[in-house]
Structure 1
Amino acid sequence: MTQTDIDRLASGLLAQTAAFADAVDGADWDAFVPTCPEWRLRVLVGHLGQAPRWAAGIVRGGSADGIPDPHEAMPPQDWRTWLLAGASELVEAVLAVGPDTPVWTLVGPGPASFWLRQATHDTSVHAVDAALPAGVPYALEPDLAADAVTQYLELLSSPAAATLKPAVALLWGAGSIGLRPSEESIEGWVITCTPTGVSWRRGPGSTDVTVTGAVEDLLLVLMRRLPPQRVAIDGDERLFDHWLAHSAL
């Protein structure tokens, strides 16, 4: 990644952490989050406080053992500062070691920038999780939303995907899906579910089903935060439903 890419991810992480904090401020932290139905809002707050700190430890050469349990998190009284400090800690760790420094990642060895990218996009989606029940606006910048789609497809197409999430193997051999952003400046994606895995590429192409919409909506439908009706689906709708049912990471 270039320094511009790193700076963009860093600014995105800090902005979306602040947006998340705004959305949960004054909300009922004991309420379940509709788009994360197994988690109460306070657990989501705990996750976004713990996860970047855990990732920063990995970036600095620490152990990947002991994934923090957000149910055990105890956000301090000044929880907003705590959230923003965690995001800043990860940014600073990546900059300190260098974004290309090899580290452990969820799918094998990778650059330290993996964790900054992962945290930025994870936080963006969780900011939407908080905004939807609160009835407050949310906004994902198109370039970051597009990169989130790309990262999601990179993870799904990795050799480790079916080991991490066995349901992913049910996609193999299912057919092809085109994702077409309505923004002319953003190139689309072609996903091919081969008999041995998931592959993808950027650009146009003939597919069994084509899904069209604003890139923000495409991402949030893929993440199962918005219903499929939010986008236009042309072709084999059952294939896209099958994809949504088995592509969660």
Structure 2
Amino acid sequence: MNATPGHLDHLAELVVLQDAFGATISGVDPATPVPWCGDWRVSDLVEHLARVHHWAAAKARSTRERPLGQGPFVLEDLYRDCAAELRDTLVELGPDAIGSTLLGRGPASFWRRRQLHETLVHLWDLRTAGGLELDVRPEVWADTVDEVVTVMQPRQVSMGRMARLPSAIELAASDVDRTWRLDTADEGPATVQVRAPASVLALMLWGRRSPDDADVEVSGDGDVLRAALVEPITP
């Protein structure tokens, strides 16, 4: 597995995507459905990401989050305030402070990467729901894939939310030089190989794209891939 990412300034990338998310809110009807997020509407999506930013800021500080209340909220204001809270917290703490992470005590900078990818996936949700394109560098999307493979899916296994996959799955990005091997109890050769742009691989792992899409190349046992993707690979 080529798991060494190219250098990404996760905090700088997070700020760019937060700004893009905030700028998009007013351009999409809040009642617009977000079908890949169950019965959510855009208003639910915006409120969710704002609350996650607020929660993550408290985790980074190892403090109890202050309740935001039930609303109703002015969506643009809610998101702007929570995004700024997270950004200011991560800047103030710096890269070496210790806080609470999804993996226990660790560097508060964990949240730079985690919130970058949370924001990226939900920015795709928001813009796609609104019929808008999203242009993000493949290197950022590749890091989204890497986070799922190295952090999120192993955590799901360790928490007992899913069993280890019985067969190896190899993922290859077609637009950057990155490959990954999705968790498996089997150290043998991969029974299925998947090649697609990094954005497509990331969105497939997060339940937004299908292995049957035209820009996905699947070699080997496609049933193994489909079975894996119905597992709770991500929370």
Normalising by the residue count of structure 2, what TM-score does the alignment of the two structures yield? 0.84
* Displacement of 1:74: 3.7
What letter corresponds to residue 207 of structure 2 in structure 1? R
Counterpart for residue 170 of structure 2: 178
Tell whether 2:18 aligns with 1:20: no
Q: Percent identity?
A: 27
CA distance in 1, matches of 2:110, 2:20: 22
Q: Aligned match of 1:236 in 221, 227, 234? A: 221
Q: Partner of 2:129: helix, strand, or coil?
A: helix
CA distance in 1, matches of 2:83, 2:10: 11
RMSD: 2.6
CA distance in 2, matches of 1:99, 1:220: 28
What letter corresponds to residue 73 of structure 2 in structure 1? P
Q: Partner of 2:92: helix, strand, or coil?
A: helix
Structure whose residues are more often strand by fraction: 1
Q: Is the 8 A contact 1:14 1:84 kept in 2?
A: no
For these two proteins, the number of residue pairs brought into alignment is: 226
- In the alignment, structure 2 segments of 5+ residues that lack a partner are 1-6
Q: Deviations over 1:209-245 (max 9, x none)?
A: 1110111111111111122223111111011101110
Tell whether 2:200 aligns with 1:217: yes
What letter corresponds to residue 84 of structure 1 in structure 2? R
CA distance in 2, matches of 1:173, 1:58: 30
Tell whether 2:66 aligns with 1:83: no
CA distance in 1, matches of 2:38, 2:45: 11
Q: Deviations over 1:98-151 (max 9, x none)?
A: 223222122322210111211110110011111112111012222211111111
* Displacement of 1:176: 0.4
CA distance in 1, matches of 2:87, 2:206: 24
Counterpart for residue 102 of structure 2: 106
* Displacement of 1:34: 1.0
* Displacement of 1:186: 2.6
**Per the alignment, do residues 231 and 85 of structure 1 end up closer, same or farther by CA in structure 2, a change over 3 Å counting?**
same
Q: Partner of 1:109: helix, strand, or coil?
A: strand
Counterpart for residue 4 of structure 2: none
Counterpart for residue 42 of structure 1: 43
Q: Partner of 1:179: helix, strand, or coil?
A: strand
- In the alignment, structure 1 segments of 5+ residues that lack a partner are 200-204
Counterpart for residue 141 of structure 1: 137
